[in-house]
Chains A and B, each alone.
Chain A
C-alpha cells in the first residue's frame, strides 16, 4: 500500500497527452452544396501535452484565440477532445466523465470562470449558489448542516455568513468572484481550473482575489491550472508556465526560466510587450504583426510570419515540443542555436 501511495505521489495529478479539439465551422450544408465550398475545420487546440503536479500551479498564457480557454474546457470535461486524452490521478478523466460514476470525477475537478457577472445566477441567493454543488453531489442532506457548510465556505473566501441571503447584484465584482471561488470549493475539489479569474477585476481587487487563491492553495493543497493573458499575474501565481500560440504549446518551463531566460522568440516578444512601471518614458520596439487567422494558419511554424529568426525551414516544417536543457520548446531556431 505504501509503495503504491509513494508511486501516486510521485506521479503528476493531471497529465494531458496530445489534447486536441477541432471545431467544425463550415457553412450550412445547403450553402456548401450550392456554392461548392469545402468543409472548414478550426483547430482550436492542436496537440497540447503537459503535466501538473499535486499542489502546484501551471499557468497558460497567450493572446486571444490561442486556445487557452478551450484547454480549460477540455480539462473540466465541458468539451470532449477530438483526440488525445487526460489522465487525472491515474484515471482516464474523459472515460470517467462518460461513465455512470461521472459525479465522482466532477467533484474532484472544478472551474472558476472569467466573468463573475455571467457565471452567477442573478435569481438565486448566494446561499443557494454556493450550496448547489453540495446538493447536487449529495454531500449534505440536512438543511442546517448545509447552511453551516455554506457559511464556512463563504468565510474561507473572506465573506460573511450573513451574505448567504443576498443576491449576486448586491456584491461588487471582486466579491462575486469570491462567491464563484466558494462555489468551486464546495465539493472539496483537488484540482481547480481558473479561466482568467481576475481579468474582469480592478487591480486592488485583483490583489485580494489572488491572495485568497494562494492562501487556499497553501491550506488545502489545491492544484491549479491558471489561465491568463496578464504575464505579471502569471508570474505571481504560477510554478510552471506554458506559452500557447495558435493552439499549440510553444514553450513550457519553470516560471523562473520563462521569465528570466525566455527562449522561444514568441515568449520573448510577449515579455517585451508588457509595459513596465520601473522605466518611465522608455521607448520599446513594438512587436510586429498580429496573430494569423486560425482557419488558415501559415505552413511550418505558425509563428514564422512574425518571427525575427524565421528561415526556410521554419516556413515548411512544423516544430514539435522537445526537451532542451530542461525546458520544453517548439522552435527550430532555438534547437539549432540560431538565437
Chain B
C-alpha cells in the first residue's frame, strides 16, 4: 500500500479579486522507501504541495478540496495539535535555508534532544545518545563535542546536515525535502544529496524531494513528477521521464538545460513564461507556449493517462491531448 496518497488536491488563495487556484487537482502517491522527485519552475506549486502535506499552508491559503492520506489515514483535515504530533514523528521536513530552520539561541544538541523527547518516550540520557548517533550518521565529525555548539558555529553544509538529523530524529517514514541543496555550493550539494539518499535508505524512509535541478533528480530519485502551473504535467520512473519525455513541456524543459556533453550553439528555449495564477489559460495550462498545440488543447483540460512505450510494468502518466489521441486510436 502507498505510504502517502494525494487525491485531487486543490489549494486556493482567496483574494479581493476572486479566488486563486494555486494547486489544481493533483494526485500522486509515494510508496514506502521510495524517493519521488518534484520538479518545475518557480510558481509551479511544488513548495505549496509540500506545505499542504506537512500542514504548514500559510493562511489565507487553504486546502479547498481533495484528500491527503498517510498510511490510509486522512491528515488534511486534522487540527493543529493533531498535526503537530504527526509532523516530526511521521513526516520530517527539510527546508531550503538551513539557517532559518535552526533556532540560533539553542545548541544543536538541545534542539535535537527536544525533538526526540517530544515524540519518543526516552530519558534525557538516551535522547542525548540518540542525538549524538544521529549527528554521526549525518557525517558530523566529533559529534559528542559538536552537540554543544550553536548553529552559527557550523558552516552552511554542516547546518544542512544538522537539519537532516533533526528531520530524522523521531524516525519518520516520510521526509519532505523542499530544495534542500539550493542554498549550497555544488561541491557541498553532492555531499548533502548522497547523505540524504543513504540515510533515508538505511532507515527505510520515503522522500519527497522538491528541486528545480534536473541533475539532482536524475541522480537521486526513483520517480519524478513534473509540475506546471499548479498541475502535474507528467509523472513516471525517472529514467523514462528524462530520456523519453512525453509531455511537450517536459521535453522543452530537458532541452533547455545546458548539457555537459554536447556543444550546441543555441539552447532550445520555451518562449514565454509560466502564466500568473489569475490568468491560467483555459484547457491545458501549457497551450500558449506549446509547440504542438491544437484545437482541443485550448478547450479542454487533459487528465493524466498512462502511456506505455516499452515500459509495460511502470508506465509514465502524462496530461497531454497528444497522447490521449494516440491511446484512443490505439484502442480503436
A in complex with B: yes
Contacts of B25 in A (CB 8 A): none
- Best-buried of A236, A277, A291 by chain B (most CB within 10 Å): A277
How many contacting A-B pairs (Cβ < 8 A)? 124
* Given A203-B41, A203-B257, A236-B264: A208 touches B190 (CB 8 Å cut-off): no
B260 close to A275 (CB less than 8 A): no
**Interface stretch of the complex, out of A8-16, A21-29, A186-194, A225-233:** A225-233
Asked whether any CB of chain B lies closer than 8 Å to the CB of A290, the reply is: yes
B186 close to A203 (CB less than 8 A): no
* Given A205-B273, A207-B267, A275-B215: A290 touches B157 (CB 8 Å cut-off): yes
Contacts of B188 in A (CB 8 A): 63, 287, 290
A279 close to B185 (CB less than 8 A): no
Q: Which of A19-52 contact B (CB under 8 A)?
A: none
Q: Looking at the complex, which one of B157, B239, B253 makes contact with A204 (CB distance below 8 Å)? A: B253
Asked whether any CB of chain B lies closer than 8 Å to the CB of A274, the reply is: yes
B190 close to A287 (CB less than 8 A): yes
Q: Which of A201-219 contact B (CB under 8 A)?
A: 202-208, 210-211, 214
In the complex, A210→B194 CA distance in Å? 30
In the complex, A236→B186 CA distance in Å? 18
In the complex, A233→B257 CA distance in Å? 8
Q: Looking at the complex, which one of A207, A229, A284 makes contact with B185 (CB distance below 8 Å)? A: A229
Tally chain B residues at the interface, Cβ within 8 Å. 44
B186 close to A273 (CB less than 8 A): yes
Q: Looking at the complex, which one of B155, B186, B193 makes contact with A229 (CB distance below 8 Å)? A: B186
A64 close to B260 (CB less than 8 A): no
Contacts of A208 in B (CB 8 A): 269, 271
In the complex, besides A206-B256, A229-B185, 9 extra interface pairs with C-beta distance below 8 angstroms are: A63-B186, A214-B266, A229-B186, A232-B257, A269-B187, A273-B187, A274-B186, A279-B218, A286-B190
Instruction: Give me the interface of A with B, judged by CB distance under 8 Å.
Output: 63-64, 172-175, 202-208, 210-211, 214, 229-233, 235-236, 259, 269-270, 272-284, 286-287, 290-291
Instruction: Give me the interface of B with A, judged by CB distance under 8 Å.
Output: 41-42, 155, 157-158, 185-191, 193-195, 212-216, 218-220, 238-239, 242, 252-254, 256-261, 264-271, 273
